[in-house]
């Protein structure tokens, strides 16, 4: 009997019997639950694809055959059986293996993934390259039903059907239970339509009927195809794919290894593009995750017996909940307000509004581009749409922000959660670029609160403003247990001087202002007298106020959790140039011009030398 620790590569999987694979699946689930219970991670998705992952590596000759996974939330099984068992204890930790797919981590990770709906497009690229180079390997895209809500997936499917390239799409459907049609008749029909003898007969008949004289052959051919389609439609929902030129197989039980292996072996040799529809149970193997897969999609450390968190941590409310509760208060008083989210109602706080005002929140699925243009349409008719999306996901809707909202000067409020570094999810999820790409959008007001009370005031102020508005804030909790009431009198045009000094001007963007408070302390301990300013507004910068601040200090320091390329520090540098203040010394601190790896946020700050003490040390070194 194979033990998981003895699996060094998928070649070892291929030596197993079906019974051994079943036992291996149990060990895989226990290992994943044990690891995530210690350090947190994406749990439910990986638990749902254990049998599928084993079957794929059993049937396909990886890494020569290419498995392209969507998003990467479900990659833990794949990592365990592709030589990373010994490193699995470092998952999502600084210097450890990634929680997603990374090309530079393993030859089995043939395409990086962290955002959704990319796998089919990438797989088609792999298939086209294979054909161009005269290779014979197989290409498989694995995509979940959630990712299929993204428009990019349908753009790719349309292209796949036209291309006729040999490739397989696995549609992992985990939203429905194992339906009644996954029974003997469905299995029987899958076996018939995937059988090599049947498919040879099908091809031979097709050639024969097209050679018959006149329209007779074409009529017989149409009758045959219609009969096949009718038989399949008795138990199958796959006509959509068939009509686009992709052969459909399924749905089948995604936890039946024997059935998966049989069907994948047959589909593997089918010419042209094929789609296999499997039904799985998200969170399988952990009762709590099965009952509430949304909660267990991503989790912190927990007790695997009780399901309770191991480290409750800071009991202050999260910034996400501060935003959600503020928006709920406003929406109760103003019927114009509507919330929009792209498959992240809980992650972005929109679930708080939806629970009390369900008809005032629209979840568009993983479709950020649609979310923004949908909001533009609402704004045209007098609605005040509040679009809440993670910073890194908003990158996907840049054109819609520019073309559909800003160009028409529409009043849409963008709320970017997870701005800055996010920790263990790493470079695919760090919100490191939002200030840069948003600063280039004409007419967009960008606000960055440094605490929860400013966040509340900014949300309130944003509703009454004109044109497009963006509020960005990091993943984290409030600094205070009790929030002050929103004043409704927030002066969003001006930076706020927190401590008046001389010589050195410390300008903080958003929550990084709190790091600068420590910088100011260290500088004062060493004989300096800095002025500390909370920028609050990143765009537009009030020229008169900034001129006074910049002219009255010799050294200007900016700190932000955005890349230094085109961020807040760049905006201040542009002002200095515009004012002709060439005698000033500008020190910019922020994220480097490279992708930052995973790790605890505080340790990443320390590593990048953008924590308060490191900034103070670097300032004194430069002076």
Comparing 178-192, 196-210, 304-318, the range with the smallest average pLDDT is: 178-192
Whether 501 and 465 map to the same domain: the answer is no
Which domain, by its residues, includes 561? 496-622
Any domain includes 86: no
What CA–CA distances, in Å, run from 380 to 189, 384, 412? 51, 9, 10
Comparing 58-62, 275-279, 350-354, 411-415, the range with the smallest average pLDDT is: 275-279
Give the model's pLDDT for residue 140. Answer: 97
Edge to edge, the sheet with strand 585-591 lists 496-499, 531-534, 503-508, 553-563, 585-591
pLDDT cut 70: percent of the chain above it: 88
pLDDT cut 90: percent of the chain above it: 70
pLDDT band at residue 188 using 50, 70 and 90 as cut-offs: very low
pLDDT band at residue 176 using 50, 70 and 90 as cut-offs: very low
Any domain includes 32: no
Any domain includes 198: no
Give the model's pLDDT for residue 189. Answer: 44
pLDDT band at residue 180 using 50, 70 and 90 as cut-offs: very low
Q: What is the pTM of this model?
A: 0.86
Give the model's pLDDT for residue 429. Answer: 94
Whether 593 and 501 map to the same domain: the answer is yes
Q: Residue 115: pLDDT above 70?
A: yes
Any domain includes 52: no
Give the model's pLDDT for residue 534. Answer: 97
Whether 529 and 609 map to the same domain: the answer is yes
- State the catalytic residues: 282, 368, 396
Among 472, 505, 534, which residue terminates a domain?
A: 472
Whether 263 and 169 map to the same domain: the answer is yes
Q: Residue 594: pLDDT above 70?
A: yes
Q: Residue 206: pLDDT above 90?
A: no
Give the model's pLDDT for residue 436. Answer: 98
CATH code for the domain of 406: 3.40.50.970
Give the model's pLDDT for residue 44. Answer: 85
Q: Which residue has the tokens 């430069």?
A: 622
CATH code for the domain of 534: 3.40.50.920
Any domain includes 564: yes
pLDDT band at residue 199 using 50, 70 and 90 as cut-offs: low
Whole-angstrom distance, CA of residue 354 vs CA of residue 182: 34
Helices (H) and strands (E) in the chain — how many of each? 25, 17
Give the model's pLDDT for residue 400. Answer: 98
Q: For 524-582, what is each residue's pLDDT tens digit?
A: 999 999 999 999 999 999 999 999 999 999 999 999 999 999 999 999 999 999 999 99
pLDDT band at residue 289 using 50, 70 and 90 as cut-offs: confident
Asked if residues 51 and 256 have their Cβ atoms less than 8 Å apart, the reply is: yes
Whether 271 and 346 map to the same domain: the answer is no
Give the model's pLDDT for residue 186. Answer: 45
Whether 344 and 414 map to the same domain: the answer is yes
pLDDT band at residue 87 using 50, 70 and 90 as cut-offs: very high
Round the average pLDDT of the chain to a whole number and report it: 89
Contacts within 8 Å (CB) and 24+ apart, 184-189: 185/235, 186/235, 186/236, 186/251, 186/252, 187/252, 187/259, 189/231, 189/232, 189/234, 189/235, 189/236
Asked if residues 388 and 348 have their Cβ atoms less than 8 Å apart, the reply is: yes
Total domain count, the chain:
3
User: Residue 516 — φ and ψ, nearest 5°?
Assistant: -65, -20
Any domain includes 576: yes
Any domain includes 120: yes
Q: Residue 488: pLDDT above 70?
A: no
Whole-angstrom distance, CA of residue 147 vs CA of residue 142: 10
Among 472, 487, 514, which residue terminates a domain?
A: 472
Residue predicted with more confidence, 226 or 347:
347
Whether 123 and 269 map to the same domain: the answer is yes
Whether 503 and 586 map to the same domain: the answer is yes
Whether 127 and 245 map to the same domain: the answer is yes
Give the model's pLDDT for residue 179. Answer: 35
Q: How many CA atoms lie within 13 A of 594 on its CB side?
A: 4
β-strand partners of 566 = none
Whether 268 and 328 map to the same domain: the answer is no
Whole-angstrom distance, CA of residue 303 vs CA of residue 286: 12
Any domain includes 127: yes
Whether 452 and 503 map to the same domain: the answer is no
Among 457, 472, 487, which residue terminates a domain?
A: 472
Rounded mean pLDDT, 60-71: 95
Whether 366 and 275 map to the same domain: the answer is no
Most confident of 27-36, 68-77, 206-215, 518-527: 518-527
Give the model's pLDDT for residue 500. Answer: 97
Question: Which residues have C-beta within 8 Å of that of residue 386, sequence separation ≥ 6?
Answer: 327, 337, 338, 339, 340, 413, 415, 462
């Amino acid at each position: 009997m194979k033990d998981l620790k003895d699996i060094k590569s998928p070649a070892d999987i291929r030596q197993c019997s079906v019974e051994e694979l079943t036992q291996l699946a149990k060990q895989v689930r226990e290992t994943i639950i044990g690891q995530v219970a210690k350090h947190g991670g994406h749990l439910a998705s990986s638990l749902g694809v254990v049998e599928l992952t084993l079957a794929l590596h059993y049937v396909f000759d990886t890494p020569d055959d290419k498995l392209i996974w969507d998003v990467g939330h479900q990659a833990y099984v794949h990592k365990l059986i592709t030589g990373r068992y010994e490193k699995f204890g470092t998952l999502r930790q600084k210097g450890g293996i990634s929680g997603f797919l990374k090309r530079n981590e393993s030859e089995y990770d043939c395409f990086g993934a962290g955002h959704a709906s990319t796998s089919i497009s990438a797989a088609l690229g792999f298939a086209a390259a294979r054909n161009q180079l005269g290779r014979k390997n197989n290409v498989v895209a694995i995509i979940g039903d959630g990712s299929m809500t993204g428009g990019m997936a349908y753009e790719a499917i349309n292209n796949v059907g036209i291309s006729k390239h040999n490739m397989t799409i696995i549609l992992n459907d985990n939203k429905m239970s194992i339906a009644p049609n996954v029974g003997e008749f469905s299995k029987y029909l899958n076996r018939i339509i995937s059988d090599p003898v049947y498919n040879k007969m099908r091809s031979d008949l097709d050639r024969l009927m097209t050679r018959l004289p006149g329209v007779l052959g074409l009529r017989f051919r149409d009758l045959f195809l219609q009969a096949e389609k009718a038989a399949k439609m008795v138990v199958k929902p796959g006509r959509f794919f068939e009509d686009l030129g992709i052969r459909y197989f399924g749905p089948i039980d995604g936890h039946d290894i024997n059935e998966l292996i049989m069907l994948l072996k047959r589909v593997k040799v089918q010419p042209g593009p094929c789609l296999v529809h499997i039904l799985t149970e998200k969170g399988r193997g952990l009762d709590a995750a099965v009952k509430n897969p949304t909660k267990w999609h991503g989790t912190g450390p927990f007790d695997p017996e009780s399901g309770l968190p191991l480290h409750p941590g800071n009991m202050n409310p999260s910034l996400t909940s501060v935003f959600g509760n503020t928006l709920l208060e406003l929406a109760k008083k103003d019927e114009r307000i509507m919330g929009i989210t792209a498959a992240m109602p809980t992650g972005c706080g929109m679930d708080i509004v939806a629970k009390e005002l369900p008809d005032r929140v629209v979840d568009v699925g993983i479709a950020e581009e649609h979310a923004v243009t949908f909001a533009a349409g609402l704004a045209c008719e007098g609605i005040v749409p509040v679009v809440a999306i993670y910073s890194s996901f908003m990158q996907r809707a840049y054109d819609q922000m520019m073309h559909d909202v800003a160009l028409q000067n529409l009043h849409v409020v963008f709320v970017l959660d997870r701005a800055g570094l996010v920790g263990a999810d790493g470079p695919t999820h760090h919100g490191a670029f939002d200030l840069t790409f948003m600063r280039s959008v004409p007419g967009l007001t960008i606000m960055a609160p440094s605490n929860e009370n400013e966040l509340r005031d900014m949300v309130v102020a944003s509703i009454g403003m004109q044109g497009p508005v963006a509020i960005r804030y990091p993943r984290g909790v409030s600094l205070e247990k009790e929030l002050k009431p929103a004043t409704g009198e927030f002066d969003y045009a001006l930076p706020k001087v927190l401590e008046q000094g001389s010589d050195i001007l410390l300008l903080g963007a958003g929550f990084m202002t709190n790091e600068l408070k420590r910088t100011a302390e260290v500088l004062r301990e060493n004989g300096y007298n800095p002025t500390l300013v909370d920028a609050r507004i990143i765009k537009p910068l009030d020229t008169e106020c900034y001129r006074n601040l910049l002219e009255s200090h010799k050294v200007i320091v900016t700190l932000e959790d955005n890349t230094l390329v085109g961020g807040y520090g760049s905006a201040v540098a542009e002002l200095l140039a515009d004012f002709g203040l060439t005698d000033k010394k500008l020190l910019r601190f922020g994220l480097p011009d490279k992708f930052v790896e995973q790790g605890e946020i505080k340790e990443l700050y320390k590593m990048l030398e953008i924590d308060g003490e490191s900034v103070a040390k670097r300032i004194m070194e430069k002076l």
